[in-house]
Structures are given as structure tokens and as C-alpha cells.
Amino acid sequence: MHMTSRFVRYAVVCSIAAAVATMQAHAAAPPIHHPVAAIQDTETTAQRDARMAWWRDARFGMFIHWGLYAVPAGFWQGKPVHGIGEWIMNTGKIPVADYKKFSAQFDPTQFDAHTWVSLAKAAGMKYIVITAKHHDGFAMYASKADAFNIVDATPFKHDPLRDLADEARRQGLKFGLYYSQVQDWTAPGGAAIGGHWDKAQDGDFAQYLHTKAIPQLKELLANYHPDVLWFDTPTDAMTPQLASEIVALLDRYPQLIWNNRLGGGYQGDTQTPEQYIPPQGFPGEDWEVCMTINDTWGYKSNDAHFKSTKMLLQNLVDIASKGGNYLLNVGPDARGVIPAPEAERLQAIGHWLDVNGESIYDTSATPFADAHGSYSPTEKDENGKPRWIPTWNWRATRRPGKVYVHLLEWPGASFHVADADIHATGAYLLADPHHTPLKLTQDGKQLNVQLPAKPLDSIDTVLVIQTKS
Ligand code: JFZ
């Protein structure tokens, strides 16, 4: 599978008609859909499948929000600032000069890439996505394009992304970078959702993009070879023309996966539902739920609202049963330490995956029609639509020859499905080292499996149903 260029670049003088003719010559190419005629996606389905293969198998990744905001850790001038920690500069309307001063205090001497990557690995995560630059404009790597970075502006003087990229590769994990391409609250011209609050922020957006964001993206691509680029918070400032300049850059890295948050009319590769699990997933699309473990992405010393291991594992299973990935966030502190309650939960998930990983990685969505929830007749979600209320009795994933039933509540003496569109040939519990056959009966679409009295796992005992496929 070798592709030199996914996006076709036409000379500016070239007309749409000429582009269409070229596209038609390329039989399996998708139709032109981007407003900038100069750049059109010509990737075939087979090329895309090959490019996305590792990501689709991965199912579970570590999101890391780490930046200068870990220094104030949720507090400004002695008072707690409400909301997510990495937004403290915007929420607290901290002046640019004051915010930049935090860099003199940022000395994460306890940072150790081996510890972090080992944790991701122990958790059963297959990839890492870390903030290279968040909305505050502070680069967490050695940037020549802008001096407001962890090497040039802190006593630490060290590039943690170098260590992490190298260590992730060493331990066999894919490595991705988050980059806030539109919002930048400390660079003149960078966008700020809610508007600028300091004259130092005023300037031209295109100039910000050309003097900071694009040069930094070039550095990141050339120096760290990310497998994923995770853009965020696109606004109208990112015009189709400006976005196409970024796409031309990304196109030099044809294996790169990037999300749907670039802006400027580009769809990207992945849907990114945030802090919720879409009730039906995104059938036929690649999607990844990103979620916090507590209520913040970036470290806040006063947020101890951690989700339970049970809830986190149920989320992973729920997402896998709908064919998506789970990008679960950790927020390391200003010393470079991943908070212990977060690490403990990840390790517990990893222990479950050590035994039951076969039922998650490289699987596809449930073969059963069960909805596992219903829309509330009264409650509304953020978009004013009826809220989805999940039930947590069981979920299913599958691979050729096997269906995995995740028993989140022990059903008693037997497991029963009324609408099983499979041909079952046998059953056993995945955590049973002997794979002792369980009594199975199938009568049309009625499937019944006899179970032992007690679950083998307190959160999720996986029942394997062997199938003729
Ligand atoms: C964005 C960031 O602003 C946030 O700091 C964090 O990095 C998160 C992963 O992504 O948060 C968003 C993005 C979009 C919405 C809300 C928060 N949205 O569409 O409502």
C-alpha cells in the first residue's frame, strides 16, 4: 500500500471542470466536495481501509492534556476558576503577560516518558494523543517557530514530546499530537472563543496561521512523525482557503490520520463525539469518543470527581459494541505526575483487558438488534433532543467466528437473546482458563446459554458464543 499523495493539487488557474475530468478518470475516487478546487481528496476506499487499519483495531487510546495550565491548576489569584482546567486563562480572563509568567514556575522534574507510556500500555491502550499546543498557545516541545515553549520559556528546558514519541515507538504504541490550530490566546491574531480580552491578542488571523500555527505544524510533522493529528475548536476564521494550506502540508504524510476538527470544510478521518457516547455510534464511519476521567482535561488540583473503574470499563465496552474507539484522558500535574486516582483506574482496566482483550481489540459492532437504552420522554440533551438513557445489562462485540457477550449485570442461571441473527455452535466464558463448554440451545432466533451461578468478573464477564460465519 503506497500512496504518494492523497490530495490532488491543481494549479490555481485550473478550472473545476478540468478537476472533474481528472477525478472521473480515477474510477474509485470520491466526488469533489471541497470548496477549494485546488485540493481534492482522491483516496480510494481500499487506500483508506489500509490507512485506518491500525486505528480501527486499536479501540482504546490515551489522551493527555498537559500544558502550562497545570501550574495554576484551577486557581487564579487564590480563587478557584470554574470550568475545565486548560481553559483557565480564558475563563479567568488572565492577561497574556500574567499567564506567560507561569512558565517560570513550570519545572516538571518528575516527568518520565517511560512511566507514562508504560501506564498507557498497562491500561491496554494502543495509542497516545498528547497536547503539543493547546488554546493557551504554549508549545510543549522544542519549537523554533515560537519561543513560548517548554524548552525556551521554562527552567525545565527539556522536550517531553521527544521522549514520549521515542518511548511510544519503543513500546509499540502509536503516537498522536493534539494541536490547537485556530484558538491561540497568547499569539497576536490567534482566535479566542468568547472574544479577545487583552490587546496583546489582537492581530490578523491569517498572519498568526502563517507565522505560528503552520510553521509549528511543519515542525511537529517533521520532527515527531505523528500517526494522528488531533485538531480542535474550528471557527469561521479557518476559511476553506486557509485550511487547504494546512491540508497541502498534511498531504506530505499520506499515512497520517486526522480528526474532523480542522475546519474550512474538511471532514477529516474521524468523528469525535466529546464526553458522550452516541446511542447508535456512527455506522460506516470511523469515530472516537473522547472523555475525561474526572471533569477536566487539564489538571485541576480541586477536581476529585473521578468516574469509577466500572463506569470507565462499561464505556469502553459500550463504545466497542457500537464500533468506535475510546480516547480516555489523563491530566498530569505540573510536576509531571499522572494523578494516582487516574493511574489506578487505568491499571484496573488493563487487568481486565489482559484477560478479556480479545473481546475488544479488532472487533466490530454487535450483531444483535438490542437497543440497550431508550430516549427519555422528558429529559433533553445539550442539543434540545430527547436524552438517551442507556441500560447497562449487557453489550456485544464480534469477530469472524465469535460473538462476545459482555455481561455487565449477571443475568442469573442463563443468558437469553430473542433476536439472534447468528448460527451458534458453542459457548464458554472468556475468563475461564479451561474454556469449559456451556450448554447452549438455539431455536430459530431464540438463543439460550446456561451460566454458572456467579460471574467471573465483578464488572464484565465475557460470554463467548462460537458461530458459524
Ligand atoms: C475542546 C477543547 O476546548 C477542550 O479544552 C479540550 O481540549 C477538548 C478535548 O476539546 O473542547 C470542546 C470542543 C467542542 C465542544 C466543547 C468543548 N463543543 O462542540 O461543544
Structural domain boundaries of the chain? 5-359, 373-467
Q: State whether the Cα torsion 28-34-37-39 is positive or negative.
A: negative
Residues 6+ apart with CB under 8 A from 403: 367, 396, 397, 422, 424, 464, 465, 467
Q: Mean per-residue pLDDT for 327-355?
A: 98
pLDDT higher than 50, residue 13: no
Query: Pick the residue with more confidence: 30 or 409?
Result: 409
Q: Count CA atoms within 13 Å of residue 40 on its CB side.
A: 25
pLDDT digit string (tens) for 220-247?
999 999 999 999 999 999 999 999 999 9
Angle (nearest 5°) at CA 80 between 76 and 84: 95
Residue 37: per-residue pLDDT: 67
The Cα–Cα gap between 194 and 335 comes to 31
CA 219 to centroid of ligand 1, rounded, Å = 24
Residue 7: per-residue pLDDT: 78
pLDDT digit string (tens) for 315-330?
999 999 999 999 999 9
* Least confident range of 86-90, 205-209, 366-370: 366-370
* Least confident range of 294-308, 379-393, 402-416: 379-393
Topology annotation, domain 5-359: TIM Barrel (3.20.20)
Residue 231: per-residue pLDDT: 98
CA 274 to centroid of ligand 1, rounded, Å = 7
Q: Mean per-residue pLDDT for 333-347?
A: 98
Residue 185: per-residue pLDDT: 98
CA 46 to centroid of ligand 1, rounded, Å = 32
Pocket test residue of 90, 180, 233, 288 for ligand 1, highest count of atoms within 8 A of CB: 233
Predicted confidence band of residue 18 (pLDDT cuts 50, 70, 90): very low
Please say whether the beta carbons of 30 and 43 come within 8 A.
yes
pLDDT higher than 70, residue 96: yes
Ligand 1 nearest-atom number relative to CA 86: 5
CA 170 to centroid of ligand 1, rounded, Å = 31
Q: Mean per-residue pLDDT for 264-289?
A: 95
pLDDT higher than 80, residue 35: no
Given CATH 3.30.70.580, say whether it is the number of domain 373-467.
no
Residues 6+ apart with CB under 8 A from 382: none
Query: Average per-residue pLDDT in the chain?
Result: 93
Residue 26: per-residue pLDDT: 40
The pTM assigned to this predicted structure is 0.94
Alpha carbon distances (Å) from 295 to 10, 29, 88, 303, 338: 46, 42, 14, 7, 15
**Domain 5-359 shares a fold with domain 373-467:** no
Alpha carbon distances (Å) from 77 to 35, 72, 95, 308, 312: 47, 9, 12, 32, 34
Q: Mean per-residue pLDDT for 108-118?
A: 98
Ligand 1 nearest-atom number relative to CA 65: 7
Bridge partners of 287, per DSSP, are: 271
pLDDT higher than 70, residue 360: yes
Classified as helix, coil or strand, 181 is coil
Q: What is the CA radius of gyration of the chain?
A: 24
Classified as helix, coil or strand, 319 is helix
For every residue of 332-394, DSSP letters joined together read --TTS---HHHHHHHHHHHHHHHHHGGGTTT-B--SS----EEEEEEEE-TTSSEEEEE--SE
Predicted confidence band of residue 79 (pLDDT cuts 50, 70, 90): very high
**How many DSSP H helices and E strands does the chain contain?**
11, 20
Residue 40: per-residue pLDDT: 76
Share above pLDDT 90 across residues of the chain, in percent, rounded to a whole number:
88
Residues with CB under 6 A from ligand 1: 84, 86-87, 232-233, 274, 290, 297
Ligand 1 nearest-atom number relative to CA 297: 6
CA 275 to centroid of ligand 1, rounded, Å = 9
